[in-house]
Structures are given as structure tokens and as C-alpha cells.
Chains A and B, each alone.
Chain A
Amino acid sequence: MNRVFVSGLGAVSPAGWGVPALRSALAAGEPLPIGFIERPGWERPFHARLVPDPSPRPAFLAHARLRRASPLTHYVAAAALEALGGISLHPALPPRLGLIVCLQFGCVQYSYRFFKEVLEAPATASPLLFPESVFAAPASHLAALLGEVSLVTTLVGDPAVFLQGAALAAEWLLEGRVDLGLVVGAEEANWLRSDAIWQFDHACVPSAGAGCVCLSLKAPASAGVELTALTDAQTCLSSRSRGLAAQLMRQQLPAGSAKELLCDGLQGCRRLDAPELAAWRNWPGPRLSPKRVLGEGLMAASGWQCAAACDALARGDFTAATLSLVGCNQQAIGARFVRAT
């Protein structure tokens, strides 16, 4: 049976642009400073952890398709290019790329700007904003930036969709349809998104960015990481609570050991965290909770969790890592990665 390896990682987060910035912030373990998002009609702004401007500004942002694109597209492109950075893209025989972009709220900045214009004066609403508001826009722009991409899709749903994306990429690889499968999870900051999150938990600190994992069937030359297990998607229903979905996901994964990392989605919000906390109560090894440091990045946070877990394995910190994605309103999915031998 073919094995699926992690060939590259990418991240854009409130810690900065790149996996090294993510790694440093998580190693420090301190929640990043709080920023603010003005909320129309409120005197007090929302708390948020925002992505700093890149310094220096990456050259790819000057690409014709990216100049007017949303920040979401910029995050997606940066994370994907970083994940591809270590891979030799031979010009004579380029690998067949598969691209899967995963979003929950999507291009909410441009959607809001456009809708505001529609409410005020629909006849003069900007034709430049509307196309960028479409879920499929970031994937389209990235595909154009990369040149030839064989398969492209955008998946939407709650943050556990990131692992549905990984499963789809693995299927494309195993069926021989692509040579590399890029999976990107991303979100951007906006007051409406913060408002929606606030409705469910006032303590939650929204954040933004992207996380990317590049999968392939080729074992990396250096010590790499292998994806060895993906659980079923445990869908939440009236008869199956988030807690039960998390428990069912946990039951499909190995028990763990003192040398194995659990990378979870805990963020310090009691109600949101409770199901995942209960599911992993007896985890015997160390834990890493990126959202405690970076904030609630939704689909981006799933990408950060995956990138952080794989990065820790690649650096030899652990022998295996379990990724727990307990989504907010759709499903729970887990995965297990090991150091490739």
C-alpha cells in the first residue's frame, strides 16, 4: 500500500509570515498581544489577534491576479508557496499539483464591503469587489499564480474540514491523479466574523491567517513526516453532540504514549473547549494548543495545528503526533502523523 508523506508546510498567522514565526510563538507559549477590530455601533472594539504586515513584502503579491485580491488570498498564496518552497519544481517535468482550499467564513472582508455598497447605492457597487467575495476566488488566484494546477477545489464547512481536505488530497495522490496535494486552511479578520463568534462565546479571541500542508507519495530525503491515519468524519447531529463526536474520533486513534504529541484545538474558552477536553482527558503525552497562543483562527487554526504538529515531528521533538480537530458545528476528525523512516 502506498504511504502518504508530508512534503512541505506553510503558515501565516498573528505570529508572522512563515512556519519559523509560528514555531517561535508556540515555543514561547505566551498568548500573542491582543489587537482590536472596530465594530460599527459599539464604543468598545472586538479583541482580535491580527496578521502583521509582511516585511519585506513578498514579491508574489505583485502578481496581476493578487494585486487587488483579498487578504485571504494573500494568506492562502503565502502559505502554499512556503509549503512548496522546499520541493524541486522541475521546469521540464513539473509535478501535477492538486490544490484544496478550505474555508469557513471565506472572503468576508470584501463580502462586507460589497454588501455595504449594495445597501447604500447598488447601482454603483464596485464590480471589482464582488468576484473576490466568492469562496472559490482564493483557489482560483493561487492556481493562476502557480501556473499549471491539475485539480482544484474549495471546501467549506467547520474547521475540521481541513482534514477532509487532507483526505481528498491523499485520495488524489493514491489514485495517481496528482503528484503533490496542497491543502490550505485560511480565514481573514473582519468585525462581522468577530460578531458572529462573539454570539457564541464572548471570551473567544478571533484571529486570521492560513496553514498549509503539502502531501505526496514520495518519501522526503531528509527526516520527514508521514500521515498514517485519518479518522472518519464524525458528524454532529441532534443525536450526536460535539462531545460524542469528539469521543468517537478519539476512539479511532491510537491511545498515545509519553513520547507522542497531541496537537489540539483548546483555546481557553470553557464552553467551546469542553468536548475536546473531555475526549482527550487521559492523553498520556505532551500537548500543544496553538489557539491558546494565536487565537481562534477557525480553518486557519486547523492549518496551524497541522503545520505545528508536523513541524515538531520533522524537527525530531516527538516520534508521533495526533491532530485533533473538533469543529464548531459540523464534525470532529483526527489524524496521526509519525516521523518517516
Chain B
Amino acid sequence: MVVTGAGIVTAYGSGWRVNAEGFRAGRTAFRPVTLFDVSRQRSKIAAEADLPDVLPPTRLAPRQVRRLDRASRILLLAAHQAWGQAGWEPSEDLPLVLGTTSGGMLLGEEYCKRALASPHSHRGQPTRALHYQPQTQGRVIAEALGFSGPILIIANACASSANALGQAWEMIRAGRADHILAGGYDALAQLLFAGFDALQSISPGGCRPFDAHRDGLSLGEGAAMLALETLDSARRRGAEILGELIGYGSTMDHHHLTQPHPDGEAGLAAMRRACEVARVNPADIDYVNAHGTGTPLNDSSEAAAINRWAGSHAAALPVSSTKAGIGHLLGGAGAVEAVVCLMVLREQWLPPETTVETPDPICQFPLVRRPSDARCDLVLSNSIGFGGANATLLFRRRP
């Protein structure tokens, strides 16, 4: 199965080029939060995305466009890019597989605030109730791009969009579809920000995944969408191939709702499963895009898993977490990091974590800390979700 289109929106910007430049340089995009009040929170920064005032032309009527919430706009931008790059035509039977943790949570929050503040005023409330639900965002994408087909929405916390891509891979592999639009998204929302702050999981100064003195994650927002299709379909159309999705592993960590198993058992199993399916060995992998949130527990667990999985190859395996630059995109993280993997394969560089000062000694692998070129044919991406969902995706360069 190959990728013929990739759309990406992060705090670096909208589109492949601006994001590739940001990831390649290891730039950090954190700044004071402006979307909601954080004055009484412990942390006050996040990686907000700057969205264009005008969305690209689609089949949506102006009235529909005006109603789009922030999450829908982010998702639509990414989907439009993937669709355009793939060169797909409107279709009657195109599945859409999305991952998200919170859909249009900002609208849900607004609904709640208004219901409390003006209990007898219902102006705009039906629209908010409808548009905060992720299935509405899925329908918006289908309407905008002119396709119909089943919409499947996976909400496995931070592994949501990696699972969405994996599910799409399973569907194509089983012959249930020959092309699928898949990915994930999440917009920043007050409830999410306050939630991670309440857990004291947010770093006050910006995340430093795998640093010995890391003190938490940073939140971001964004989306990535991938146009996935069979190799035959892509060849028939003469489509440009960005990379190949060759393996997927999905496992469950039963240890705790918010903490991974210290030994990284489930993460290890997901990586092993993805490699087994793809028939590759850890020694074949050229780069790992780690989940790497920057929380003490996540990173030590994931590092343990990577150490055990890679074995003696660990010492020569470059690893980095691109959350160091754009923060944790929650439901959008897995898909955005999948696009980062495609960038690595296409452009042959490694995305550094420039914020790391002292690598945690638990890391038996080299952390990528400076921009560098590298020969990469096979890359792996990990996603580890709140609640225990783990997913690993494997991408291969097509010459």
C-alpha cells in the first residue's frame, strides 16, 4: 500500500514545504496560548497553529464554510492538500478513517458556557451541538471534496490517528477498499489544556523528550491526512508515490489509565508486531520517530521498549521525537508523525530535537539533536495513547 497524497497542518504552518523546513531545522513553535484563558494555569504555552483567513475553494457552500469550527478548518486544510496531491477525483465509495480525541471540543465548551450563562437562550446552540461531534467534521470533509463512503472515527486517545492509518492499511490489505483517505486531527481546547495541567503533565517551559531533566509535555494542534491506495491503483493512475506503508502493530497496555508500563511491554509488542507483519528486523530500520511526549514516565517506558526491541542495533539507531518542536497533537499526533516519516524518506534527513540538553542515560540509542542528512529507506513511528492504546507504523521509501 502506498501514499500518494499527504496533507499537514501544525504550528509550523500549513503544507508539506513549510513543515519540512520546520522539522528539518528542529525549530520550536511554542508561544503563549491565545485561544483561551490560561492565566490561572501552571503552564501558559502551547504550539498554536496559525490558520489562513480564507480556506481553499471546495464544494462547500459559503454558509457551510462560515459554520466550520477550528478543528474542522484544520482538518479540511490537511485533507484538501492530500486530496490535491493525490489527484483523486470525486468518488461514490471512498472510505474516510479519522482519528481524534476530542473532535470540535472548543464548540462543546462554548455550548456548555452558554447553556450555563444564558439558560433560556438557544441561539446557535443546535449548530454547536451538531458541529462539535467528530462525525460532522468527517461529513464536512466528504462534502468539501465531493466523495461519499463510510466514515469510521477512532478515538483511542493519543494513538487515535496512528490506529486510523493502521485500520485503513488493514482495510486495503484485506481488499475491502483500494483507496482510503485517512488521518487525524485535534485542535487545542481549554478542557484538554487544563486536564493535562491538572495532571501536572505540562512542562512550563517547553517539552524536551528523552532529556534527563524533562518535566512534561507541551500541547499543540494540527492535522495530517494521507491518501492511501494500492500500488496497482497508484501505478495505473501514474501517481507520484510518497512512500509505502508496510507494517502496523496495535497493542493494549493494561497497566494504568494514565501511565504506561515501566518496561514498555505494550510498546515493544506493537513494534515487534509491525516488524513481523512487514517481515523486517530492527536492524533494517534507519530512523524511529518516537512518541516521546517529554513526560518522565512516557519517555522512560518508550526508551525501555526501543532498547529491548532494537537490542544490539539500538546503538546505531537514530531516534527523535518531533513533539519537541510542535508539541503533542493528541489525536492528530500519529498522522502528523506519519507525514514526518514520509518527509524523512523523501528528502533523506533526520528531524532533530534541538531542546535536548542532557540525553537520559536510559536511552541506549542516539538521539537526533542536530539537523543532519541521512540515508533512510525504512522508518518506524510509535504512538502511545492515554488508556493504553499503542500503535506502530512502518514506512518504506520507494525508489
Q: Chain A residues in contact with chain B, CB under 8 A?
A: 39-42, 65, 103-104, 106, 111-112, 114-115, 118-119, 121-123, 125-127, 130-137, 139-141, 143-144, 147-158, 161, 164, 171, 175, 192, 195-196, 199-200, 232-233, 235-240, 329-331
B250 contact set on A, CB distance < 8 A: 151
Smallest CB separation, B16 vs chain A (Å): 29
Q: Which residues of B contact A148 (CB under 8 A)?
A: 254
Please indicate the chain A residues that have their CB under 8 angstroms from the CB of B387 in the complex.
Answer: 131, 134, 136-137, 139-140
Given A122-B41, A127-B199, verify A329-B135 contact (CB < 8 Å). yes
Closest to A154 in B: B155
Contact between chains at A41 and B174 (CB < 8 Å):
no
In whole Å, how far is A284's beta carbon from the nearest beta carbon of chain B? Answer: 29
Given A42-B120, A126-B198, A235-B149, 17 extra CB contacts under 8 A: A115-B190, A130-B191, A134-B101, A136-B385, A136-B386, A143-B254, A144-B388, A149-B254, A150-B252, A155-B153, A155-B155, A157-B152, A158-B133, A158-B135, A235-B151, A329-B139, A330-B151
Which listed residue (B122, B157, B257) contacts A135, Cβ 8 A?
B157
The yes or no answer to B368 lying at the interface (CB within 8 A) is no
Whether A39 contacts B119 in the complex (CB less than 8 A), given A122-B197, A237-B142, comes out as yes
Chief secondary structure at chain B's binding surface? mixed
Select A125's contact among B134, B138, B150, B198, beta carbons within 8 Å: B198
Contact A40 B252 (CB under 8 A): no
Q: B13-31: which residues lie under 8 A (CB-CB) from chain A?
A: none
B46 to chain A, nearest CB (A): 14
Verify A192–B112 contact, CB threshold 8 A.
yes
Of B109, B138, B388, the most chain A CB neighbours within 10 A belong to: B388
Q: Are A233 and B151 in contact (CB under 8 A)?
A: yes
B4 lies within 8 A of chain A by Cβ: no
The answer on a CB contact under 8 Å between B135 and A156 is yes
A-B contact pairs, 27 of them (CB 8 A): A65-B257, A122-B198, A125-B198, A130-B191, A130-B195, A131-B257, A133-B195, A136-B157, A136-B389, A140-B387, A143-B388, A148-B254, A153-B154, A154-B156, A155-B153, A155-B154, A156-B103, A156-B133, A156-B135, A157-B134, A157-B151, A157-B152, A164-B152, A175-B170, A192-B111, A200-B129, A235-B148
Given A65-B257, A136-B385, A154-B155, A199 contacting B125 (CB threshold 8 A) = yes
| B386 cross-chain contacts in A, Cβ below 8 A | 131, 134, 136, 140
State the CA gap A112–B366 with chains docked (Å).
44
> B254: which A residues are within 8 A, CB to CB?
143-144, 147-149
**B150-A130 in contact (CB<8A):** no
Considering only CB atoms, which chain B residue lies closest to A238 in the complex? B143
Answer whether residue B163 sits at the interface, using C-beta atoms and an 8 A cutoff.
Answer: yes
A123-B42, A134-B157 as given contacts; A195 in contact with B115, CB under 8 Å: yes
Nearest-neighbour CB distance to chain A for B386, whole angstroms, equals 6
Residue of A nearest to B152 (CB): A164
| In the complex, chain A residues whose CB is within 8 Å of the CB of B385 | 136
B154→A154 contact, CB < 8 A: yes
Name the contact of A41 in the complex, choosing from B41, B116, B196 (C-beta under 8 A): B116
User: Distance (Å) between the CB of B251 and the closest chain A CB?
Assistant: 8
- List the B side residues contacting A237 at CB < 8 Å: 139, 142-143, 148
Q: Are B101 and A135 in contact (CB under 8 A)?
A: yes
Docked complex Cα distance between A235 and B133 (Å)? 15
Residue among B116, B133, B195 with the highest chain A CB neighbour number at 10 A:
B195
Task: Kindly list chain B residues whose C-beta atoms are within 8 Å of the C-beta of A192.
Answer: 111-112, 115
Q: Which residues of B contact A65 (CB under 8 A)?
A: 257
Least Cβ distance of B109 to chain A in Å? 7
B258 at the interface (CB under 8 A from A): yes
**Residues 152 to 180 of chain B near chain A (Cβ within 8 Å):** 152-157, 163, 167, 170, 174, 176
- B residues near A147, Cβ cutoff 8 Å: 254
B-side contacts of A153, CB under 8 Å: 154, 156, 163, 167, 389
